[in-house]
Amino acid sequence: MKKKPRIILYGFLVWLIPFIAAFLIYPIHESNRPFFESIMPVIIVTSVVLFCNMYFRHIKKEQLREGFFLGLVWLAISILLDLLMFMWGPMKISFLDYMADIGLTYLIIPVICIGFGYVLSRKALK
């Protein structure tokens, strides 16, 4: 698979896996919100690490630059897809509430991608 489609596909899956998980465990959101709020970042991190690992297998140079780019693209994909879900319909919340409750958590996406890129670029220097 070419690089750009892989970035988009993996970015979509980075968003989809936590979205499906949140949907499946949503009753916990109502009965035990602190647990829900603790488990969701773990699911997001797991998804990002999995797809970063898959993506970076194909990247042999400029890994740090790739990490920055990948993290920003995946962050944008997750926020845009979420906004489609949360700006209208039964799950509607305001943009500020969305950012406070969900959106800021997505900042872990570029942190992980940049971290992968950094570690791999350092390894390439040796």
By residue range, what is the domain housing residue 119? Answer: 3-125
DSSP line for the chain: --HHHHHHHHHHHHHHHHHHHHHHTHHHHHH-HHHHHHHHHHHHHHHHHHHHHHHHTT--S-HHHHHHHHHHHHHHHHHHHHHHHHSSGGG---HHHHHHHTGGGGGHHHHHHHHHHHHHHHHHH-
| pTM strictly above 0.85 | yes
| Model pLDDT for residues 41-97, shown as the tens digit of each residue | 999 999 999 999 999 999 999 999 999 999 999 999 999 999 988 888 777 889 899
pLDDT over 80 at 126, yes or no: no
* Local confidence band at 102 (pLDDT 50, 70, 90 cut-offs): confident
Count of structural domains, the chain = 1
